Structure 1
């Protein structure tokens, strides 16, 4: 190669010799990629590996060259990636699998260093261009006699506004999509002929820069939008005729980028999702219609709906949990539902977006709401006024964007006086049961903001963005966009914006218009942002003493560190906890054995660094209901559950101690889910609990539709176990079952309207299928009863004695062999007796028991072991 290089050179011989000497040692170590399945994204002189199936990207090499790399391309002829360098002038770079670089000078190239469009044909010819209609070629086939030689220049038959192109290995043609027109072009590099094939349907109406494009082995073309990071797929472009049928859809959501370029082996497959089989076929953690690649395919909708702003705005947290739970309880107990049909409809007035209308520190929040931007048919006010007394917001204004009567987006504008709004949608929604599918940046005005993709519990997908605006000393806005709330400066007022929509394109449009509306009042001086977390919690849940985290590991970190604070009950203080564990792969899960808790706020950092993820996990809350007039509380405490729940049932964790005075009622409530959503417990037929206290205890359940069913029990000074059947609860429509329960109440009732002292100890509340113990007082004292039989783990043996004494229990198999491991002796009392028979190590089958009494009585019968 050294001889070829020197023969080619006609000038600057000394410079070329220096280049060869400096790169020789690197060449000895450099290895080819050999058709790696990854796509590679080049930004400046950093390299990211991109998984087209998931859209995830992580940095694999940083500062690999002194100059920036563009027009990057995979060379099928040698297995390396090549690119054009901004410096040294007229130079190209070869990049190996270990990201070492070899730099070569091509002196015949024009002086312009702005070559940002490039790809390499299957036979190893590198074609690249800048913004003109001329493109250039260099032979990069190591088997060619012209290796590393300039081949010449060709002029396109028409100049097109493109930012990357790629070779289709199926037909050997170049393909690209033009910015603005969104036309797909087929280009013949031999002649320069440019053939427009038509507008790509999925891109119609968009105005993005497609700075990175790729092919797979089947001739499917993937184009990535710089501003949003969205990856679009155009099927088998070699089969598309001019103005013919063109199949296209969104494929994945990745990070936005600028000054970028893409490279990928065109004969490598891209994993595809089967949208009907219920499996995650492409390994991105998404199944069937959850995968954006299935949008508009089979039964998967192209557009989903969003939640409304009236339900948004906060999660529980350590400072505000009791107030927020009370707000949710008030909504649940009154069966509150926001009425879209009666909401105020907003119209764009003549002063919309006018400059200088308001003082920049006192803008009416309604003036910062975009209108007629995303094709909505109406915009309605949906402000949740019951947030004002619960958060650090001094003013809140929110709207829902509707298409007909369906929500397609929402916006909350929140004014705060001393610091940023302390509730973020990406924390709030995960706390309420949503999944965070993706976190990456989008670009507004070439500035990075953080977008998230959230799958709500109802199955709908939302694209969300949060940022805040504050005024500096020059009365100009500073725009702050961070994942962690503690990154926002304190001691300043903010306009806070939380936006969500059903498409990333509408999200971008709404955010850009908000910036326009801010600028109508004051100039934007600077943008300050941070990067999204490379490792984040996709979903989290707490149950039975365990927090389970599902993680997305974008940068393939080998481990995480977790720090946080745990509250064991609603009324206890916070204790700190730290945890470190290895993780691997793109998706992983971690189980934290926390023991019984109420809530857990924590931060996850990964060992590779970058922005940490913050999260809040909680069990459904207990709350105090002392709202009745004349009611006073002397003690209210939520106590820990002492033992882990091991039975088959649905435990309501934590216990209650309550005392006070009332002439009406005093009580506690327990939500069945953190978001006060209804939970289906129809598989259970009983509600059991242990309680002691004074007077009548009213037990009431509220269903998801607002229906109320109740029953009563009489408490005593001794702790008793109460077992209530679903049929014991009655309401206006009769009895009920335990389906779709939202809230359960335990109220101490003053029956006669006279003030009474009330107290209650409540514990071990459980939905289950237990049966009441048989009283078993028989006139025939020669009978015994074993229940249950067959025996799964243990059973109770009931018998009656006329006088106190002792007993001996023996178990035999059907051959008469005594099972010594089950023998037991003990004392009996006059009247009913009960002893427990445990399965122990008995094998499943039929046995006989013999119970002998010192009162010369014998009971025997069959016992079946499961």
Structure 2
């Protein structure tokens, strides 16, 4: 399936590259920075710094190619052809292939070309032979001898280091770095490569750069490792090794590269993307464990997983998150149930459940604890859910979330959820299990730690066998069918691979897997998405030189509004593109980013925090409406977008909440020590700020204000709250109409323009005349300001504005109340400058001045 997918794509890719990559027929590669990754008879051009590989040549020969090497003498790549026998191929920059029959040159999986043009091919456990590839030599294209290694090596590729003209390889299983003298066949076991210790991968593609750095690619995961300056190492030397990049996987891998070409390296401390892979410092895998970059980070618990908002689920998800906050629910792996490996582990069950697919004793020294988020069953299409966290030294190092569905695949995807909650998608590629590709991604969480993620689903077929599916897009899964769904994440790519491999083995134990249906990773994807004040900010990764993309989706302006279709064309010319999309004010927006080659698109969801009804209030509210703010917020405040209004008939408290983030996480508002809002309605209004650091609901900050039928502006300093505290981690704002008796009462509430500001008086100029004080906020004003004062009686007031020449430019009457009053004034078309105001009733007059920016 993958081959057919790529074949149909190649013509389009070649059209795209034709304008920038014009070469003569069968011209040499010469010494370029790219590495060339051969998989069967296809060729990928791979950027070692990023790991990204672009299919450049497909089916370039009828039979498979292996043992490839770059010939520094003629600038071509040479390889061994599986059939016909004794056939070598010379490959040019346009993937034109010339074939040559060379006597006594059997097919070989291991090969490379010495800088002098001698082709070394490994013929068996300890044998090798040599072919002359120097066009100026009298023995050109002949077998010029054989040799014997001092010991047999189980390896799948080797490469010449131009720094010392020695061959190097890594042995499968032992992970020994071996140095081979091509003249004598003597093998030196330098030592186990530290970064590979304990792994059992096949290293089918290896390369060198001009500095003698050795690059080793693992077939199963596509991970590229670096062993630094191997020419300086002797037996027993300290070996410097590390991760380098995450590339494509394959069961048949071989690599070739000019050994004197440089490979860009990342400086892990300068805040610059030095190697051009779009990753800076610690985000780059080559910086793992280097300088201040951590080598280990704990993964999130399965108890928190399984959801992202979408148009159908947004209110249910908000309800779930709200319930957890209100009930102070927190999962702890320290007190969670320990899962013990059952005696019938990995045995076929007559009554198959999700527990039959849970890996045990796969991750070394890890303890399994149950973290099942049972509340998913109530609000998603899952009928059963099991989650296990794998814990080592008190920290989770991996998680499996398993869910059973009956009529469709599980509708949550972790790569959407993570970006929705503020994470970054650093890379997307594939890994190979059971000779089938599965998608893997690397996610950077908001706290800076990283997770490696994979997901797939098993569908029970009518013949009682399993079909396994793995796709980036939910609409690619088989419709109208139930699934066993598996979402896996771990702190390392190797632990991810072990868990995924074991899950598939356990699936096979229960029922045979007779088919796989999988998709490729998206070549264009959104690394990060943020919404702020009507703008959606996107960081988009594009592995092509330039590509046209289409953004299409549906947005809602408010929680209670209808969907609106949105479409926009975006041209991408860089590897990492920063795009700002003017979406207008919105609540949520789900969209698909397609590319001009019809390759796998990316699906993204972005949302603001949510206005919602407390679940206990819902039966008593006859109308709940959310509307957009009429005015824009000044840059020096923290604005809470959208307003709400409710109508209710009840004898109990009625509450509306607003989460400040989509996932109900805390926001640091310590630079804003007051909350301001306009409100009108019936009775008393309780205002509560819910902090992440306060556990007991009764200990949260709150205050109570009196409502009137006219809108008032309320400015409440943090110190005026009961249980006053710092507002450095506010998760929610709670507005509650307080029940004042057991009688059923009809009430209304409207709250607008909620914001946090520096203080109740900062930047405010106060004027006091006739023993009355008017507070103007903000002053200077940008678009609007509130004029607040106290009154002893209910009166009708005239509000008038005069310019510097004494000309009245505005007048309006309003009804004041006994107590605190606030009049909101919009500047309309008035120009910047100083103005005078007058607020007067039949027995009072208050005057002052204010500025318009």
Shorter-chain TM range is 0.7 to 0.9
Aligned pair in 2 of structure 1 residues 544, 608: CA closer, same or farther (>3 Å)?
same
Structure-2 separation of matches of 1:610 and 1:40: 22
Match of 2:481 among 492, 498, 520: 492
Structure-1 separation of matches of 2:532 and 2:598: 30
Structure-2 separation of matches of 1:491 and 1:518: 21
Structure-1 separation of matches of 2:151 and 2:129: 16
Match of 1:91 among 79, 87, 90: 87
Q: Output aligned runs, 1:591-670, within 5 Å.
A: 591-627=580-616, 632-670=620-658
Q: Output aligned runs, 1:727-766, within 5 Å.
A: 727-731=719-723, 735-766=724-755
Q: Output aligned runs, 1:4-43, within 5 Å.
A: 29-43=25-39
- How far did 1:723 drift? 1.9
Q: Output aligned runs, 1:219-234, within 5 Å.
A: 219-234=212-227
CA contact (8 A) 1:794 1:839 kept: no
1:423 aligns with 2:412: yes
* Aligned twin of 1:508: 497
CA contact (8 A) 2:765 2:776 kept: no
CA contact (8 A) 1:557 1:606 kept: no
Structure-2 separation of matches of 1:805 and 1:338: 55
Q: Output aligned runs, 1:482-631, within 5 Å.
A: 482-627=471-616
- How far did 1:306 drift? 0.5
Structure-1 separation of matches of 2:158 and 2:406: 50
Structure-1 separation of matches of 2:37 and 2:229: 22
* Aligned twin of 1:440: 429
Gaps of 5+ in 1: 1-25, 812-822, 843-847, 853-859
Aligned pair in 2 of structure 1 residues 520, 778: CA closer, same or farther (>3 Å)?
same
Question: Residue by residue, what CA displacement relative to the aligned partner does 1:179-226 show, whole Å, maximum 9, x if unpaired?
Answer: 111111111112222222121111111111101101111111110000
Structure-2 separation of matches of 1:385 and 1:709: 31
Structure-1-length-normalised TM-score: 0.86
Structure-1 separation of matches of 2:852 and 2:709: 39
Task: Please give the root-mean-square deviation of Cα atoms over the aligned residues, in Å.
Answer: 3.4
Deviates more, 1:57-66 or 1:205-214: 57-66
Aligned pair in 2 of structure 1 residues 84, 642: CA closer, same or farther (>3 Å)?
farther
* Aligned twin of 2:12: none
CA contact (8 A) 1:793 1:839 kept: no
Q: Output aligned runs, 1:815-830, within 5 Å.
A: 826=809
Structure-2 separation of matches of 1:318 and 1:704: 27
* Aligned twin of 1:711: 703
1:458 aligns with 2:451: no
Structure-1 separation of matches of 2:511 and 2:848: 90
Gaps of 5+ in 2: 1-21, 789-796, 839-846
CA contact (8 A) 1:810 1:851 kept: no
Structure-1 separation of matches of 2:798 and 2:631: 34
* Aligned twin of 1:378: 367
- How far did 1:828 drift? 8.2
Deviates more, 1:395-404 or 1:680-689: 680-689
CA contact (8 A) 2:832 2:852 kept: no
* Aligned twin of 1:106: 101
Match of 1:320 among 313, 330, 333: 313
Report how many residues are paired: 803
CA contact (8 A) 2:802 2:835 kept: no
Secondary structure of 2:317's counterpart equals helix
Structure-2 separation of matches of 1:510 and 1:202: 19
- How far did 1:780 drift? 10
* Aligned twin of 2:287: 294
Secondary structure of 1:342's counterpart equals coil
Aligned pair in 2 of structure 1 residues 756, 850: CA closer, same or farther (>3 Å)?
closer
Secondary structure of 2:688's counterpart equals strand
CA contact (8 A) 1:657 1:762 kept: yes
CA contact (8 A) 1:451 1:464 kept: yes
Question: Residue by residue, what CA displacement relative to the aligned partner does 1:728-747 show, whole Å, maximum 9, x if unpaired?
Answer: 2221xxx2232110010111
Structure-1 separation of matches of 2:690 and 2:529: 26
* Aligned twin of 1:692: 680
* Aligned twin of 1:363: 352
Structure-2-length-normalised TM-score: 0.88
1:398 aligns with 2:387: yes
1:50 aligns with 2:46: yes
Structure-1 separation of matches of 2:832 and 2:192: 73
Secondary structure of 1:245's counterpart equals coil
Match of 1:82 among 72, 78, 82: 78
* Aligned twin of 1:723: 715
- How far did 1:242 drift? 0.9
* Aligned twin of 1:4: none
CA contact (8 A) 2:836 2:849 kept: no
* Aligned twin of 2:249: 256
Structure-2 separation of matches of 1:91 and 1:791: 81
* Aligned twin of 2:769: 778
- How far did 1:349 drift? 2.3
CA contact (8 A) 1:396 1:415 kept: yes
* Aligned twin of 2:661: 673
Structure-2 separation of matches of 1:171 and 1:592: 53
Question: Residue by residue, what CA displacement relative to the aligned partner does 1:44-86 show, whole Å, maximum 9, x if unpaired?
Answer: 2222121212211121222333332222222222323222223
Structure-2 separation of matches of 1:784 and 1:725: 18
- How far did 1:135 drift? 2.3
Structure-1 separation of matches of 2:53 and 2:575: 10
CA contact (8 A) 1:631 1:665 kept: no
- How far did 1:634 drift? 0.8
Aligned pair in 2 of structure 1 residues 723, 241: CA closer, same or farther (>3 Å)?
same
